[in-house]
Amino acid sequence: MKIFPAIDIKDKRCVRLIKGDFDNKTEYKLSPVDQAGKYKEYGFKNLHIVDLDGALTGETVNLNIIKEIVSKFDLKVEVGGGIRTIDGITKYIDVGVEKVILGSAAIKDKNFLKEGCQKFPDKIALGLDAKDGYLSVSGWKENSNQLTLDFLKEVNDYGVSRLIYTDINRDGTKQGPNFEETSKVADISSCPVIISGGVSSIDDIEKAKSLNNNIEGIIVGKAIYDGDIRLEELVKEIDA
């Protein structure tokens, strides 16, 4: 099981949102670079970064911060947030990011997703953020009116290398992930799936390990920042 501690960047700070609500955020003291260094010190190998400024603007706002993290620490970094062009993907690949997460732009334009996968083999992750079974886009402000599973079936052969499934109703709530829906996604996905949203305890990690073999990892955010999960305990769950 791969563990992805999370860093969400807004105004150059580490923040956490509740259910994607930008008006309901908590800021944390450590800078994104220092937080990444902390994860590295504890022995984590993977890192999940979201550029929340990018999600709002469609630009690679925090590219320099992410470049510094990638260059300073030997971490496999996946990045998402407002990546809507081939040029945006290229910028992140050029600074050494392992996976670029496409979300809203890929859902609105499947051809963009297909082109990204063709140009950057094994580098594109698909972020599917769902609310009550339907995909949300544009920083979770819009409902796409597309059922998650229907969309996945349409793009399943595009060459996506990783799928990140987030239940928006659980994200930032520490109520536990939506294991049932994630398992449905993993059952039909042609690529490995990462669980995201609502992780509250080590028990959630243990449950994730018992699920579908196509689930390769889990993202942990707020529970780390709030002290519900200690890093020394979490790191023991890697590949265990």
Which residues are identified as catalytic?
8, 129
Contact between 36 and 73 (Cβ < 8 Å): yes
Identify which of 77, 50, 1, 3 has the alpha carbon closest to the alpha carbon of residue 231.
3
Under DSSP, the state recorded for 130 is E
**6 phi-psi bin (left φ>0, alpha ψ -120 to 50, beta other):** beta
Q: Is 104 exposed, middle or buried, given 0-12, 13-18 or 19+ CB atoms closer than 10 A?
A: buried
Q: CB within 8 A of 144, min separation 6: which ones? A: 107, 108, 134, 135, 136, 137, 151
Residue tagged 């670029």 (tokens): 100
Rounded to an integer, what distance in angstroms lies between the CA atom of residue 107 and that of residue 99?
A: 18
Amino acid 147 reads L
